[in-house]
Structure 1
Amino acid sequence: MQVHRTVIDGVLLLVPSAIGVDGSRALTFDTSVALRHGIDASRFVQDSQSRSMCGVVRGMHGRTGSGEAKLVRCAHGAMFDVVVDARPGSPTFGRVATFRLDDVDMHQLHIPAGCLHGFQALTETVDTCYRIDAEHDPTEDVSVRWDDPDLDIRWPLPPTVISPKDRGAGSWRDLRVQLTGRPDRIPA
């Protein structure tokens, strides 16, 4: 397994190593490699899975308080994955990063606590798996609209389904003020 840094501080792309001549198996997670990059697998306390149909957009979701780190992968299909750095002290605060996760390359994303996360299903059926390092506390949930103009996320497909909760989410500007006391725009 290889670990690559991304444009957001602390967001890591985990790339599996092929096993076998035909490439039909892959080493998708190695505890010792992950630990060298600051991912302590023993901290994961929940595994979750969601199923989405093509065009569905979920996000942008995060948590206040101590937040939660996630290890995200696409077990079936392909998805457009989005991370926004919502950690006020981070050097990449406000930055948006996008990734393609699928069941062919089997890449995973490690998303540190304090980031917003969302995705769009690109294939007929998408199964998304999450390993989470904190039990869910709904009182800490925060969300920003998937189409917030300040984030300017370029979703690859027209959205087919967006939950009422996600349609009613707040703005990046309001969350930024809540987190920092400043309404400045995101960095270029």
Structure 2
Amino acid sequence: MKATEVPAIAGAFLFEPSPHTDPRGFFSRTFDADVLRSVGVDPNAFVQDSVSRSARGVLRGLHLRSGDGEAKLVRCSYGRIFDVVVDLRPDSPTYRHHATFELSDTTQVTLYVPAGCAHGFQALTDPADVSYRIDRPHDPAEDVTIAHDDPELAIPWPLPATSMSPRDREAPGLAVALKQMGR
């Protein structure tokens, strides 16, 4: 497994596995504590695993947590997604920058999203399964959502959004969300 720094988001990494393939399919390591440690990520910090399934065009996000934030490892275990990270850490050299990625089941690449960054994705296939490994137990009182179509962010979503949760559809723009978080 190889770790590659994401230049547009300070502290973000892509973890690219080396799948073993044969006529039966493939076998791939998707988590390696030593590789995480090698780039300064504590593998023991992760306390919760979750998975979502989305139909093509479904848009989830942009989400983050207030307070101490939430670091996560994100991987598309089935299908393909357009993934977005927005750096909202005021002291970061990449503050308010965003980066986009295509994550898929064929590559099994894992994205490390540092705490204090917003995250969202859009399903490009039907279905798309996304696996998350999160470093804090979920507390709904800390949930923050930012409008996916905020013009200040200008995220180039590849498809029209076919479905969104009410929370995502009614999310405030970036300026309002930052004010809610005291930033």
Instruction: Identify the range of structure 1 (113-122 vs 169-178) with the bigger mean alpha-carbon deviation.
Output: 169-178
**What is the aligned counterpart of 1:133 among 121, 124, 135?**
135
Tell me the CA shift for residue 39 of structure 1. 1.7
Per-residue Cα deviation, 1:93-127 (whole angstroms, up to 9, x for no partner): 10010000000011010001110000000001011
Contact 2:2 2:16 in 1 (8 A): yes
Whether 1:97 and 2:62 are equivalent positions in the alignment is no
- Partner Cα separation in structure 2 for residue 65 and residue 110 of structure 1: 19
Aligned to 2:14: 13
> How many positions carry a matched residue from both structures?
181
- Partner Cα separation in structure 2 for residue 96 and residue 40 of structure 1: 24
- Partner Cα separation in structure 2 for residue 48 and residue 14 of structure 1: 18
Instruction: Identify the range of structure 1 (22-31 vs 64-73) with the bigger mean alpha-carbon deviation.
Output: 22-31
Whether 1:119 and 2:114 are equivalent positions in the alignment is no
- For the aligned residues, what is the CA RMSD? 1.5
Q: Note the residue ranges of structure 2 that are not aligned, 5 or more in a row.
A: none
Tell me the CA shift for residue 67 of structure 1. 1.1
Per-residue Cα deviation, 1:114-145 (whole angstroms, up to 9, x for no partner): 10000000001011110000001111111100
Instruction: Identify the range of structure 1 (41-50 vs 16-25) with the bigger mean alpha-carbon deviation.
Output: 16-25
**What is the aligned counterpart of 1:41 among 32, 40, 43?**
43
The normalised TM-score by structure 1 is 0.91
Tell me the CA shift for residue 177 of structure 1. 4.0
Tell me the CA shift for residue 44 of structure 1. 0.8
> Tell me, what secondary structure is at the counterpart of 1:24?
strand
Aligned to 1:186: none
The normalised TM-score by structure 2 is 0.94
> Tell me, what secondary structure is at the counterpart of 2:68?
coil
Aligned to 1:84: 86
Aligned to 1:56: 58
Identity percentage over the alignment?
A: 51
Q: Note the residue ranges of structure 1 that are not aligned, 5 or more in a row.
A: 182-188
- Partner Cα separation in structure 2 for residue 26 and residue 54 of structure 1: 25
